[in-house]
Amino acid sequence: MIVDDEQDVQLLFQQKFRRESRQNQVTLYFAFSGEEALEQLQNNFTKCLSLILTDINMPGMNGLELLKIIKEKFPNLKVFIITAYDDNTNYQKAKNLGADDYITKPIEFNKLKEKILSL
């Protein structure tokens, strides 16, 4: 699941993972806020998820708050944090909250695909 308040992220990920989606290697789900992501997770959606990619900066619940809740309620779910700002403070917070990876924008999709397909 990709969690980002910017709607154009959905099209970007669908384009970058077109081949993998067609070959049933990945299925992409989207939530446009931390609150929407939690709602989907609480509706037994975790059974078909292995990874959440969440942006840090979102209105309402930010990605670090979402990470904290996910790791408390769904500890086996992997969470990658995505940020436009490569700052050590957020990196340390994310790691301390249990982030499985920390990715800076612009996203290197080939590296991300390798990480996802190796899960």
Distances, alpha carbon 18 to alpha carbons 11, 23, 29, 50, 102, in Å: 10, 9, 13, 19, 23
Asked if 40 and 67 touch (Cβ cutoff 8 Å), the reply is: no
Confidence band for 86, pLDDT divided at 50, 70 and 90: confident
Dist. CA 4–CA 31, nearest whole Å: 7
The token pair that represents 32 in the structure block = 């446009």
- DSSP secondary structure letter of residue 99: -
pLDDT of residue 119: 84
Domains and CATH numbers, the chain: 2-117 (3.40.50.2300)
Dist. CA 113–CA 111, nearest whole Å: 5
pLDDT of residue 53: 98
What are phi and psi for residue 115, nearest 5 degrees? -65, -45
Percent of the chain with pLDDT over 70: 100
- pLDDT digits 0-9 by tens, 15-73: 999 999 999 999 999 999 999 999 999 887 777 888 999 999 999 999 999 999 999 99
Residue that the structure tokens 């929407």 belong to: 36
Instruction: Give the predicted TM-score (pTM) of the model.
Output: 0.95
